[in-house]
Structure 1
Amino acid sequence: MVNKKIKHILNDLLSRKYIANILVILAISIMILIVSKDFSKKTSKTVYNNTENNISMTELTYKTDEERIEARLKEILEKIENAGEVQVMVTFEESTEIIPAFNTTKSSDITEEKDSGGGVRILNSENITETIAMNNGSNSNQVFILKEIKPKINGVIVVADGAKDLVVKEKLYNAVKTVLQIPGHKVEIY
């Protein structure tokens, strides 16, 4: 009798409808798993790309400052009589440092407590909150910049056709020192 019940239950479980339902559920589960992995991969790629873009923007600003100074210096040095064609390389100690403005909120609270025994306790609490000051423009928020510290120049190399002449070489040397306000040991003329 028990054997017949077990056989009947097993037959019901192994019927075609039950197996078909299990296969459908299994297929849906696998599809959900695959789709969720695709979403997680896309999210991580986006984060990576955003990080990459931030690095690129920093490098772009740094290279822009470097290239701008090199181009201006080249333009000035080529105007020196008999200097000829000039190439300039400027190296920096670090990149530009930007110091944002902050909105500072400071609050203090002094509380005096008296207990039943006649004792007095004074509590002094101070809370300081700083947030970066933002300018809410038309389409974007921009940070208020308090100060921008330009990078320090490590050295300058100038290669000029006219540097064979010592007078021209001296003029180029003095021009670089004067324009960039750097000591002579950081300048080489070839």
Structure 2
Amino acid sequence: MLGGFKEELTKIIKDNKVIFSLLLVAVVALVAIKMITPSSEPVKAPLVINEEITPTMSTVKGTVWREMEQQLEKDLSKFLSDIKNCGRVQVMIRISKDESKIRAIDEDKTEKTIEEIDSTGITRTTKEVRIIQKTVQESSSSGYKTVFLEVESPEIEGVIVIASGATNLKVKAMLIEAICTYFNIPAYKISVMPGGK
């Protein structure tokens, strides 16, 4: 009985060697096919961006914008009330809520092209592009500050003026011209209306 078991065990081991050998040949063939076949997808380079993250302060910004509008309204009211025959003046100004800042970026770009020729003579070209962008910062006594190339202030979206002298078309025209010049905005953003005395 022991002899029959030994023969069966030897037969199973030989059969497994054949199966294992076939599996190994199949895996090697798949790897070889993958290496020979050129890739149709371009190699994507990693893009590393180091951005400064600042907390959003929408409620604080809203307060700041309204204070800015109120200061502009006060200054413009004082300025316009000095125009002859203008009378009592009330001003309302709306500014855009976004300030545009363009950060200074230090960019390091490297390109590498690799050409490989396999044993069958097929050439495979791989191009690798690596771009690393970092926000430029300058050190100060309080730490590091982001360097901005350009900061654009918010724009004036509209001006409404109520003036007691605006019933006179000459006064109305002078008010519109003064506001256009004062803020460097087009006349269509300005509305001048007569008010009570």
Superposed CA deviations along residues 36-69 of structure 1, whole A, max 9, x for unmatched, are: xxxxxxxxxxxxxx96x62234324433543343
Residue 107 (structure 1) shift: 0.9
Alpha-carbon separation, structure 2, partners of 1:159 and 1:139: 47
Residues 177 and 145 (structure 1), Cα distance of their counterparts in 2 relative to 1, 3 Å cut: same
What residue number does 2:61 align with?
Answer: 58
> TM-score if structure 2 supplies the norm length?
0.59
Distance 1:107 1:63 in 2: 47
| Residue from 176, 184, 187 that aligns with 1:184 | 187
After superposition, what is the alpha-carbon deviation per residue over 1:169-189, rounded to whole angstroms, capped at 9, x for unaligned? 221121112222333232222
Letter in 2 for 1:85: R
Higher helix share: 1
What residue identity is the alignment partner of 2:184?
Q
Task: Give me the CA root mean square deviation.
Answer: 2.6
Name the counterpart of 1:135.
Answer: 138
Aligned to 2:46: none
Q: 1:74 aligns with which of 77, 99, 110?
A: 77
Aligned to 2:57, the other structure's residue is in SS state helix
Unaligned runs of 5+ in 1: 1-49
Contact 1:62 1:95 in 2 (8 A): no
Any conservation in 2 of the 1:98–1:148 contact (CA below 8 Å)?
yes
Deviation of 1:75 after TM superposition, in Å, equals: 3.1
Offset of residue 108 of structure 1: 0.9
Task: Give the Cα separation in 1 of the matches to 2:71 and 2:132.
Answer: 39
1:125 & 1:62 partners in 2: Cα distance?
46
Confirm or deny: 8 A CA contact 1:110 1:124 kept in the other structure: yes
Unaligned runs of 5+ residues in structure 2 are: 1-53
Does the 8 Å contact 1:156/1:188 carry over to 2? yes
Question: In 2, Cα distance between the equivalents of 1:88 and 1:136?
Answer: 43
Identity across aligned pairs (percent)? 29
Matched letter for residue 58 of structure 2: I
Q: Relative to 1, partners in 2 of residues 1:96 and 1:84: Cα closer, same or farther, differing over 3 Å? A: same
Q: Deviations over 1:56-100 (max 9, x none)?
A: 343244335433433332232122123233221112344222221
